[in-house]
Structure 1
Amino acid sequence: MLRIEENLSAAHLRLSSTYIEKIDWAACITKYDRPHTFFYMDPPYWQTAGYGVDFGIEQYVRMAELMRTIKGKAILSINDHPDIRAIFGEFQMEEVGIDYMVGGGGKAAARIELIIYS
């Protein structure tokens, strides 16, 4: 509690020139794409439950199309799945080991995540 004012002030300074949009992800990329723009994309993981949103395979295909054609640069983090590797196969990829916390209580599941670069 002693540092709350200092922390809020620091957060205010960091976010003072930030824009928050509530628009479709593809529309956001199209709207803000410039040669100097960097996009970090973290979509729902393919064939994983619990997101509560409709995000079909066509969305990942669209993401690959946009990554291929944008003026700026993009990095995508996503679960390692054969379908994802096929869709983004033309891009540079790195495998990163990650421990997913499943249901809390210290139950970790080791997985591989892909970092994909445009």
Structure 2
Amino acid sequence: MNSPIKWMGGKFRLRNRILEMLPQDHLCFVEVFGGAGWVLFAKSLSKIEVLNDVNGELINFFKVVRDKTQDFIRAFEYLLVSRQIFEEYKRANPQELDDIERAVRFYYLVHFSFGARMQSFIISPTGVRLVLKTLEQEIKQTRERLLNTIIENRDFEKLILSYDRPSTLFYCDPPYYGLTGYSSQGSRVFTVEDHIRLRDVLSRLQGRYLLSINDHPDIRELYNGFNIEEVSLRYSVSRKDKSTLKKELLISNYYNSNIANSQIAA
């Protein structure tokens, strides 16, 4: 199934290849940097599943969808899609809202903003009809998928250390190295020191991990000696030009020959 939201750095295009990489013989699956949860929602159920992110608004949204589904859906029955409401939600202080109002605000800003950045209102009549028509069905499907999922809002290092077992599989999709803009969605800056801290905690794991990250010289140096496999994502700049390639690195503490030097058409 698909994620109910858009998200910067979401793994919609890469998720099928990531699923091919994930070992099936694990007891617990942990998505450390949850975001939109594209991998979690696409994969088959594991006995124990954990969805984590440090973004409190994102995590509140998933908790409300799971635990207060009908209240969330009901809030959209008479809610119009307009620039004025979008700007009012932008100005609102989430800390002054209850958890359902916060979730509605978050969903509204993500869906009706350019690039899901929650900053600039962008919508077409087709988009309005599509979102409102499918909202109830998508939210109910999301609720069913999250019903037995542990939802966490913790720093990645503390989370990994608390769930690390030989039977645990971690999927890590941290913010891209050297890129900015995540703060517009309410996420804090992921520093070079954070990337080093992530490398260090992954190098000491009892369990297995798969890390996806943008191809950057500093990342290659940071993970020198690790199992690194390169994937090229092909993006269409226009209908006629399909030559743009973006490289991602899949780093793991196990080997899978299915992914080496692959290209994925988007």
**Which TM-score bucket, shorter chain as reference?**
0.7 to 0.9
Aligned residue pairs, count: 114
Matched position secondary structure for 2:157: helix
How far does the alpha carbon of each residue in 1:11-70 deviate from its partner, in whole angstroms, 9 at most, with x for none?
444322210100111111011111101110000101112112311111111111111111
Residue 66 of structure 1 corresponds to: 201
Residue 115 of structure 1, CA deviation: 0.3
Larger mean Cα displacement after TM superposition, 26-35 or 10-19: 10-19
Residue 157 of structure 2 corresponds to: 26
Distance 1:70 1:32 in 2: 10
Q: Which protein is richer in helix relative to its size? A: 2
Residue 37 of structure 1 corresponds to: 168
Distance 1:22 1:101 in 2: 35
Distance 1:100 1:37 in 2: 33
Where do 5+ consecutive residues of structure 2 fail to align?
1-132, 254-266
Q: Which protein is richer in strand relative to its size? A: 1
Residue 47 of structure 1 corresponds to: 178
Identity %: 39
Residue 7 of structure 1, CA deviation: 8.0
Q: Aligned to 2:246, which of 111, 115, 118?
A: 111
Q: CA RMSD in A?
A: 2.7
1:101 to 1:39, Cα distance in 2 relative to 1, 3 A: farther
Where do 5+ consecutive residues of structure 1 fail to align?
none
TM-score normalised by the chain length of structure 2: 0.38
Give the number of the structure whose alpha-carbon radius of gyration is greater: 2
